[in-house]
């Protein structure tokens, strides 16, 4: 009998997250003859995202739909997944390395008594089995790991694998029984108060325009926001800019902020401290704009522009606007 792989999908603002399709792609890459793929979608009001997910799955989509699962809570999600794991006994569980995935994965691994590999950026099939690549020391090195036991839980860094494409016949959507009601929860999330209302999710954005202390003020972010809008990207920041009060900490990228891997990262007025690089060095193409030609950011940049960001960024915005219109 083949392996059973379970992909735990996620929604954000009622929409399926792109990283869920990337996790599905990983499952298809690892799939061998006789293996089964199950996608599980937890949340509330899941009709639309479940249909979208089913369009990419050859097998089954299980929905865990309950009001207490609308917003992630470790307790409610653990309850919801426990029975499912006990019944389905997956050999491998794949999740996005998101805030939810990072919290949920070790709980699932403990429940399954499985090994766990986190923050995977690449995978390959070898004679020894699947090898998972993950960064070490804030992205300064990489290690390749494999699961030695019969069970594993793996989280995948967003934007590193391609998303799974559509399938010819969508999967059947099977609602799971209610595993949440009946067990009183110790904590319940009543409301989420958003600090920012960014149009594009920073961790999934294909383009990130980031500002550092060099933007000099909150107003200094405006040209960056305009460039991000033209490129349909998101705005990020260094901790230097956050500490200076130029922007919200929700934008911070780096070791103690968000990790992003966009196709294009434009660093404006950021020196390139190791702690910042930890959050963006895996971006596909990095453009650095800095008036100091010795700034360390140029060492990892694919393209470097030595100049004043307040001159260079509006020029880029104008050029991209013309090219893309
Ligand atoms: P600076 O280092 O001050 O650089 C500003 C740059 O702007 C300079 O290179 C300057 O030449 C350039 N500049 C100035 N004016 C202009 C202009 N008009 N046009 C173009 N360029 C201009 N940092 C993070 O970013 N993320 C983290 O998660 C993070 N975590 C940390 C965790 C720990 C434990 C510690 C100790 C530090 C952490 N830091 C983090 C802080 C990090 O070490 C740096 O202090 C920070 O990244 C510096 O931010 P910056 O590059 O914006 O500022």
Average pLDDT over residues 57-68: 94
Maximum average pLDDT range among 1-5, 279-283, 288-292:
288-292
CB 35 within 8 A of CB 4: yes
Banded model confidence at residue 198, pLDDT cuts 50, 70, 90: low
Average pLDDT over residues 218-225: 97
pLDDT digits (tens, 9 = 90+) for 236-269: 999 999 999 999 999 999 999 999 999 999 999 9
Structure tokens at 266: 């434009």
Distance CA 325, CA 321 (A): 6
User: Which has the closest alpha carbon to 167: 286, 300, 60, 30?
Assistant: 60
Average pLDDT over residues 32-54: 96
Binding residues: 213, 238-239, 252-256, 269-276, 290
State the chain's maximal CA–CA distance in angstroms.
63
Nearest protein Cα to ligand 1, atom 1: 271
CB 93 within 8 A of CB 11: no
* From 37-41, 256-260, 293-297, the region with the lowest mean pLDDT: 256-260
pLDDT at 276 over 90: yes
Give the distance (Å) from ligand 1 centre to CA of residue 266.
Answer: 14
Banded model confidence at residue 199, pLDDT cuts 50, 70, 90: low
Distance CA 324, CA 248 (A): 30
Give the distance (Å) from ligand 1 centre to CA of residue 119.
Answer: 25
Distance CA 30, CA 286 (A): 30
Nearest protein Cα to ligand 1, atom 37: 275
Average pLDDT over residues 89-111: 97
CA angle, 158 then 73 then 164, to 5°:
30
Give the distance (Å) from ligand 1 centre to CA of residue 275.
Answer: 9
Give the distance (Å) from ligand 1 centre to CA of residue 122.
Answer: 29
Helix H segments across 117-172? none
According to DSSP, the residues that pair with 136 across neighbouring strands are: 141
pLDDT at 197: 56
Banded model confidence at residue 84, pLDDT cuts 50, 70, 90: very high
pLDDT digits (tens, 9 = 90+) for 125-135: 999 899 999 99
Residues with CB under 6 A from ligand 1: 212-214, 238-241, 252-257, 269-271, 273, 275-276, 279, 289-292, 295, 308-310
Average pLDDT over residues 66-91: 94
Q: Which atom of ligand 1 is least distant from the CA of 297?
A: 9
pLDDT at 310: 98
Give the distance (Å) from ligand 1 centre to CA of residue 276.
Answer: 7
pLDDT at 161 over 90: yes
Q: Which atom of ligand 1 is least distant from the CA of 212?
A: 52
Give the distance (Å) from ligand 1 centre to CA of residue 230.
Answer: 25
pLDDT at 193 over 90: no
ipTM above 0.90, yes or no: yes
Give the distance (Å) from ligand 1 centre to CA of residue 98.
Answer: 24
Q: Which atom of ligand 1 is least distant from the CA of 240?
A: 49
Name the residue of 273, 286, 312, 315 to mutate for ligand 1: max ligand atoms within 8 A of Cβ: 273
For the entire predicted model, the pTM comes to 0.82
Distance CA 305, CA 288 (A): 6
pLDDT at 10 over 90: yes
pLDDT at 201: 80
Binding residues for FAD: 213, 238-239, 252-256, 269-276, 290
Q: What percent of the chain has pLDDT over 70?
A: 98
């Amino acid at each position: 009998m083949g392996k059973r792989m379970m992909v735990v999908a996620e929604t954000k603002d009622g929409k399926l997250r792109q990283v869920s399709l990337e996790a599905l792609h990983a499952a298809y890459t690892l799939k061998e003859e006789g293996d089964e793929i199950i996608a599980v979608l937890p949340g509330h009001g899941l009709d639309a995202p479940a249909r979208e997910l089913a369009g990419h799955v050859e097998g089954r989509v299980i929905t865990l739909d309950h009001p207490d699962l609308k917003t992630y809570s470790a307790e409610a999600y653990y309850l919801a997944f426990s029975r499912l794991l006990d019944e389905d006994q997956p050999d491998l569980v794949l999740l996005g390395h998101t805030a939810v995935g990072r919290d949920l994965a070790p709980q699932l691994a403990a429940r399954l008594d499985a090994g766990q590999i986190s923050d995977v950026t690449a995978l390959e099939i070898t004679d020894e089995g699947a090898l998972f690549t993950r960064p070490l020391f804030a992205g300064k090195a990489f290690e390749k790991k494999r699961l030695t036991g019969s069970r594993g839980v793996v989280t995948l860094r967003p934007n590193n694998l391609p998303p799974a494409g559509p399938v010819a016949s969508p999967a059947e959507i099977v609602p799971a029984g209610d595993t949440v009601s009946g067990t009183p929860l110790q904590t319940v999330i009543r409301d989420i108060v958003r600090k920012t209302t960014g149009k594009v999710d920073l961790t999934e954005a294909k383009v990130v325009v980031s500002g550092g202390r060099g933007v000099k003020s909150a107003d200094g972010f405006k040209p960056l926001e305009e460039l991000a809008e033209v490129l349909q990207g998101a705005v990020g920041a260094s901790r230097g800019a956050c500490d200076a009060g130029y922007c919200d900490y929700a934008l911070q990228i780096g070791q103690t902020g968000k990790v992003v891997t966009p196709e294009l990262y434009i660093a404006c007025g950021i020196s390139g401290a190791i702690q910042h690089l930890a959050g963006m060095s895996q971006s596909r193409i990095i453009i650095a704009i800095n008036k100091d030609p010795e700034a360390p950011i140029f060492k990892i940049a694919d393209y470097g522009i030595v100049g004043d960001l307040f001159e260079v960024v509006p020029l880029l915005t104008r050029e991209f606007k013309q090219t893309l219109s």
